[in-house]
Each structure stands twice: as structure tokens, then as C-alpha cells.
DNA sequence: CTGAAAGCGCTTACAG
DNA sequence: CTGAAAGCGCTTACAG
């Protein structure tokens, strides 16, 4: 189907009566003598010349492209980060090579064969391998990598995350301020850095207000609806069930809500749920579901700016661990807010 | 940060005592004399050689990459299609250059400068320009393009969509079978091909069962929550409101549900809503929301296979318009289905 | 079955 | 300020 051959720098040069090098210099922003510049400029528009990024990449070694490794396409979380990331990186001429195929290591290799300049990794929560492998392979190739919401010590990568412990502490503190003393947690596995931090925050709040730790109020599981469902059934079936539950993951919260519906437990009347991350479903589940809001857009922006700096060779403060602040969203009147303008449609997924 | 220089085909050749051409042939699957092949194979593993896709692209003209243009990252719809698309295209060695930045035309140009082999376009519903521009520019460059759920006549592109008219007709027919005669539609703008088709299906069903057309039951708007909300308020405030409403878009359905909640209208008791596309929120809105399920995965697969064929130069039946069948999902017992295994977690977004 | 050589379309020290 | 030339790392007709 290929049509005419693409016009090259050479044809422009010939038409403008200059050398190819001169055309190239013009293209790269080097100032020419006004008279030659004019001829080059005209030759370009006459021929309809368009640069060939592949050729430039081969010559210079950088491709102006960034690889993104993510666990799952259908993730509001990942896509929010990418959206913001793209907004800073695209104006600089970068293309995004995105991949989520299960065999991430093969995917990453494939990207590296394409001379990507950097990598953004959004690892699946609770699973170390992906981020570790990405960091290792990128390190060997000398390609900078930024990891979202995951952390390893002494690693050749930068990290962008939230203050997991602090935000959890504040979320539980809110529950305490609402008069609750029996506060449970439904959390990810303790093998996961993020889960451990959130657990620390939970305990810190209880300690701070001299509330004891109740072992049976601390539930762990995979960050999934099944995990939240199972934990929910257990907690709600206790002799003395908690009056408030801090659920550190969105999918788990949804699972919990299914359990609550099944057991005819009302939210927030029977139990206050404080969740993590916004979910489009909250609005239709209960008028009052406070949640910790991760600044996903801000994370994407910061990740982009940091990665761009690394690509540019700026290695100040490397490796860096950026921790962003979160808000705790309390919107008691969510279901009363009739005016649609007050509903943030950026949260719409469809 | 860049470490050691990457090893090239030349160093492999030297070590194996063959020419670079021979190494290249081996890499491209051409059979060598067993003895030389052995030496080459060993030299490759000893040197840790890895091919350079950029160099190959420059030489051969194809990059083994596909550009994806989409309107919005945070779209369950788009991501479902891409997920399936990737699953067929990745094993063949293709990388995906994905972009959703508002200035799609600039994005597309940037992709084209990178010698992408083909384009998948998921245009925003109700807006023609994007798909048209993509088709035009790809056509000029001789790059094959496949468009999802949009159609133009006499266009240099292939199309993959659903049977919009037929599936709408069946959805409305279901409402009729449930005993409804006053069935409204909340639809996209009539300037949009997809909306027109769905409207045709709606009218066809009414005609087929000799139900008259009621002008005030036909509402149009943008495919957005606001559109659905506004239409909902109007319909539910009529002197004789409809007893069933066919809402041809998911975001509109959500807007409608907000309107219904505001007006204290119960679903499905007061009005039966038949929606388009699955939404994770349905489960928490009502136990009974039938919806037309687009086979998003199948669309991605078909698009991938077709595009791959075009890239390979197979132009049989070009241009093609693939129309896939949809199911109408009726899950009355959704809220009763306690067993989580019956809930398709592929639909989870978080 | 394999080698020597040209060339894909650029960029960039090196001269002048 | 600009030209001539080498080279980025491959592939592929052309010989033999």
C-alpha cells in the first residue's frame, strides 16, 4: 500500500543548494545565515519534508520515547497516572510505548531493543517481582526508571509515591474523631511495602489515642474484591464487630460492600467505612464513604518531570523517593449534591 | 548513566569468524551450514548480543510497532479493546505506541515519523474529526488503519464495530416483551453514525410491534453523564412518563440514574432501564439493569488480526466493515448471586 | 551456503 | 557559517 518514497534531507539540500549537514543543523535549531535559512525553509515546505525519527535515533542513540510497564490496562489508577504523565512528556516530543502483557520482562526487553530513553513502571500492588526486574534490567542498560507507589532500598531507580503511613494514620484518626473506638483494618499482605506502611499508620493512630490493638480486627488479604469480601464476612460475623473499618484498597472495599449487602449491614449506619482511592461506585453505595485520595495526577506529573531530568543526565539526589501528600475526602452530602457540576466528571470512567 | 556500549552484529561476526551478513541471516531465520550456525549461536550467547530494532527499522522500513489513537485513557471501553488487541499483537513482536493527548493530529504525525506499521483508532463517540483525520493521514502515508465503532463510506480504512441497529432493536424488543408500550430512548446526537444506527434499531422495534412513535420520548444529547441527567429529568417530568427507557450509552445511563435518584424514581420498579455497555456501578444501583454488551475483547482481537493482515500486504476485501454480534445481558439475580465466582472480575476496574 | 558492499536517513566532529 | 565525510547497526541483492 506504501505510496511515494518519503523525501529525505538530501532532496531538501539539493533544492536549497546547501549540504545535507546544513539542513540537519537547521532542523536542530542551529542558526544559519539568514539567506541560507530562507532557502532551506522554502525547500522544506516545497518538498513537504518530514524528519525520520528512526534515522535520528540510530545516529544519536536516543529515541525520544519512554516505555511504560503496567499491570493491567483496565485500571483507573494506572490510567490516571499515565494521563498526567503524558501531558508533560508529549509536548517535549516523546512517544509512549505502553505494555501490560503478562510477560512483562519480555515486554521490557522488547522496549529496550527499541532504544527507549526511560521507563515508567506502575507495578501491581503486592507483587515485588515486576518492579525489581524492571529496575535491574534498566540499570544494566543504563536506562533511567521511575517506579510508582513501591519502594526498595538501595535501588537504581527513583520512586514516586504517597505518604502511606501518614495518610493511613490520618484516616484512622478521622474515625476516632467520629467517636469510634473499635476500628478494624482490611489490608494487603504484610509482604508488601505499601501494606506495611499503611498498617503502621493504622497502629500509630490507635496508639496515639491510647486505643488497644485487637488482633481479630486486623485482616490481610490480596488486594482484590475477593480478599475484601472474605475479610468483610469475618469481621461482620464477630461477636463484637468493629464499628468502623479502614480498608486500604479500592477493590477490597468493593468486596467488602458486597459482603455488607449480603449480611444486610448498612453503611455508614452500622459500620463506618473509610476507604482508599476514589471509586465511581461509592456514590451509589452510600452517601458517606470517606476515602484517602491519592493525588494520581500529581504523581504522574512528578514522575514525568523527574524522569525527564534523569534522561537529560541530571542525577542530583539520585536515587530519589518522592512522597506526596494525600487528602482525606469527606463528602457527607455527596448524594444530596444535585448540581452535576459539583461532581468531578474527571472521575468518570466510561 | 549509559554503561558499556551495546554489542553489535560485527563483534559477533568477528568472534564466530563469519561475515556480518551471515549473522544477520541467522538472526532472520535463514538456515546456515550447521557448523557455522553453531559458531554464530555461541558467539551470540558469549557476547550477549541483542538486536537493535531501530537499525533494522531504518533499513527495512518497518518498525514492528503499531500506533493507537484513543480519546481518553480512563476509559473502560478503550482499555478492554486494547487489552485484547495487545494479546494478539505482542506475541508477534509488535510494540504499541499509545497516545490520547488532545491534539491527536500532532500525536499521529509524531507516530508516523517513527515508521509505525499500522494504526488502531478508537475515536471518541459522536465526534467525526478524529477518525477522519487519522484515515486521511494514514492513507497518504500508506499506513493501514483500523477504526473501532465508527464508519464512513468509501474510506481508505477497515472498520470493526457491532451491529448497532440490530442490537438496539433487540434491546427495545426485550422491553416490549416485558409488557412495556411506552418506551423512550436517550441517545447520542443524530450527527453521529453510531447514534443514528441505534435510533434506527429503536424505531424498528416499535414499528415491528405496531407501537407508535412518541416525539417527546426521543431524547438526544452528548454521550455524557450531563446529557443523560438532563434527558432523564425531562422524561421523568412528563405528564405521561415512559415506563421503560433505552439508554444507548453508559455515561448517559449514569447521568440518568442520578436524575432518577434525585426524583425518587425507583429502578426497575418505576421505570425499566435498558442500558448499553457494562458498568461496574450497575450492581450497586439496581438488581435489574439489562444492558447490551459489546464484545470488546472480540473487537480488539478482530481489529488486531485484520490490521496484521493489512500490514502483511493482504488486501483482500479491502476496505472491510466487520460487524460483530452483541448479547443482551439480563441478570435479574445479580444482587442475589452471593458466590463471588459468578461475578466476572474481569469487569473490575480498580 | 556465505562474503563484500551498498545503503536506509540522519548527525556531528573536523576543517575551512 | 557551512561542506565533506564518516558512521549509527543493520539487511539484502549480487556474486561466487
Instruction: Report whether pLDDT(B66) > 70.
Output: yes
Using CA atoms, how far apart are residues B263 and B241, in angstroms rounded to an integer?
A: 13
Residue B93: which pLDDT band, with cuts at 50, 70 and 90?
A: very high
Angle (nearest 5°) at CA B124 between B119 and B128: 85
Nucleotides of C under 7 A from a protein CB: 1-13
Mean per-residue pLDDT, B78-86: 96
Chain A residues whose beta carbon lies within 8 Å of the beta carbon of residue B113: 50-53
Mean per-residue pLDDT, B250-257: 95
Q: Where are the beta strands (DSSP E) in chain A?
A: 65-69, 95-99, 118-121, 145-148, 158-162, 183-187, 218-220, 244-247, 272-276, 291-293, 321-324, 327-329
pLDDT value at residue A3: 47
A26-30, A315-319, B131-135, B334-338: which has the minimum mean pLDDT? B334-338
Note the pLDDT tens digit of each residue in A63-102. Answer: 999 999 998 999 999 999 999 999 999 999 999 999 997 7
Helix residue ranges per DSSP H, B114-192: 129-141, 164-177
For residue B164, give the nearest of B153, B150, B178, B177 by alpha carbon.
Answer: B150
Provide the mean pLDDT of chain B: 89
Strand partners, A162: A324
Closest approach of B52 to chain A, Cα-based (Å):
5
Secondary structure in 3-state letters for A156-182:
CCEEEEECHHHHHHHHHHHHHHCCCCC
Nucleotides of D under 7 A from a protein CB: 1-13
Q: Is the CB of B43 under 7 A from strand D?
A: no
pLDDT value at residue B129: 82
Closest residue (CA to C1') to nucleotide D7 in the complex: A59
Contact yes or no for B89/A98 (Cβ under 8 A): no
Q: Which strand ranges, in their side-by-side order, compose the sheet holding A95-99?
A: A321-324, A158-162, A145-148, A118-121, A65-69, A95-99, B95-99, B65-69, B118-121, B145-148, B158-162, B321-324
pLDDT value at residue A6: 80
Contact yes or no for A252/A224 (Cβ under 8 A): yes
What is the distance of C-alpha A11 from the center of its chain? Answer: 45
For residue B277, give the nearest of B149, B175, B190, B119 by alpha carbon.
Answer: B149
- Assign 3-state DSSP to chain A and report helix, strand, coil percentages, each to 5: 45, 15, 40
pLDDT value at residue B153: 85
pLDDT value at residue A128: 77
Q: Is the CB of B56 under 7 A from strand D?
A: yes
Return the closest nucleotide (C1') to the Cα of B24: D11
Q: Is the CB of B9 under 7 A from strand D?
A: yes
A98–B96 CB contact, under 8 Å: yes
Query: Residue A217 phi/psi, 5° resolution?
Result: -90, -5
Q: Which residues of chain A fall short of a pLDDT of 70?
A: 1-5, 332-350
Task: Provide, in whole angstroms, the distance separating residue B39's CA from nucleotide D9's C1'.
Answer: 21
Note the pLDDT tens digit of each residue in B162-200. Answer: 999 999 999 999 999 999 999 999 999 998 899 999 999
For strand D, list residues 57-96 of chain B whose Cβ lies within 7 Å of it.
Answer: 58-60
Q: Is the CB of B20 under 7 A from strand D?
A: yes
Return the closest nucleotide (C1') to the Cα of A22: D2
Q: Who wins on pLDDT, A102 or B16? A: B16
Strand partners, B244: B183, B272
B99–A77 CB contact, under 8 Å: no
Residues 6+ apart with CB under 8 A from A4: none
Instruction: Report whether pLDDT(B345) > 90.
Output: no
A86–B79 CB contact, under 8 Å: no
List own/partner pairs for B332-335 with CB under 8 A and 24 or more apart: B332/B287, B332/B288, B333/B287, B334/B282, B334/B283, B334/B287, B334/B288, B335/A261, B335/B283, B335/B287
C-alpha neighbours within 13 Å on the C-beta side of residue B279 = 31
This prediction has a pTM of 0.90
A74–B55 CB contact, under 8 Å: no
Chain B residue at shortest CA distance from A144: B1
Amino acid at each position: 500500500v506504501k505510496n511515494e518514497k518519503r523525501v529525505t534531507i538530501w532532496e531538501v539540500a539539493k533544492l536549497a543548494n546547501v549540504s545535507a549537514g546544513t539542513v540537519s543543523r537547521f532542523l536542530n535549531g542551529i542558526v544559519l545565515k539568514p539567506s541560507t535559512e530562507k532557502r532551506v525553509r522554502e525547500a522544506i515546505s516545497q518538498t513537504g519534508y518530514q524528519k525520520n525519527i528512526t534515522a535520528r535515533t540510530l545516529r544519536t542513540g536516543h529515541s525520544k520515547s519512554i516505555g511504560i510497564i503496567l499491570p493491567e490496562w483496565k485500571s483507573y489508577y494506572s490510567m490516571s497516572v499515565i494521563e498526567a504523565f503524558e501531558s508533560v512528556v508529549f509536548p517535549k516530543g516523546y512517544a509512549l510505548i505502553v505494555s501490560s502483557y503478562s510477560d512483562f520482562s519480555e515486554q521490557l526487553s522488547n522496549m529496550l531493543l527499541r532504544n527507549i530513553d526511560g521507563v515508567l513502571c506502575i507495578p501491581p500492588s503486592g507483587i515485588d517481582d515486576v518492579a525489581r526486574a524492571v529496575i535491574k534490567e534498566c540499570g544494566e542498560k543504563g536506562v533511567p526508571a521511575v517506579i510508582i507507589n513501591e519502594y526498595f532500598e538501595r535501588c537504581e531507580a527513583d520512586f514516586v509515591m504517597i505518604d502511606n503511613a501518614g495518610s493511613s494514620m490520618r484516616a484512622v484518626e478521622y474515625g476516632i474523631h467520629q467517636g469510634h473506638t473499635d476500628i478494624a483494618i482490611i489490608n494487603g499482605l504484610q509482604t508488601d511495602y505499601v501494606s506495611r506502611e499503611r498498617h503502621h499508620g493504622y497502629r500509630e493512630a490507635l496508639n496515639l489515642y491510647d486505643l488497644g490493638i485487637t488482633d481479630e480486627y486486623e485482616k490481610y488479604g490480596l488486594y482484590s474484591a475477593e480478599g475484601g469480601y472474605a475479610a468483610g464476612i469475618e469481621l461482620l460475623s464477630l461477636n463484637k464487630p468493629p464499628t468502623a473499618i479502614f480498608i486500604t484498597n479500592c477493590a477490597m472495599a468493593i468486596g467488602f460492600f458486597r459482603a455488607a449487602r449480603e449480611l444486610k449491614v448498612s453503611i455508614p449506619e452500622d459500620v463506618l467505612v473509610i476507604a482508599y482511592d476514589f471509586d465511581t461506585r461509592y456514590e451509589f453505595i452510600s452517601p458517606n464513604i470517606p476515602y484517602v485520595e491519592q493525588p494520581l495526577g500529581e504523581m504522574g506529573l512528578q514522575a514525568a518531570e523527574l524522569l525527564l531530568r534523569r534522561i537529560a543526565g541530571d542525577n542530583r539526589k539520585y536515587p530519589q523517593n518522592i512522597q506526596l501528600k494525600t487528602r482525606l475526602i469527606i463528602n457527607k452530602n455527596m448524594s444530596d449534591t444535585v448540581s452535576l457540576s459539583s461532581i468531578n466528571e474527571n472521575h468518570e470512567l466510561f
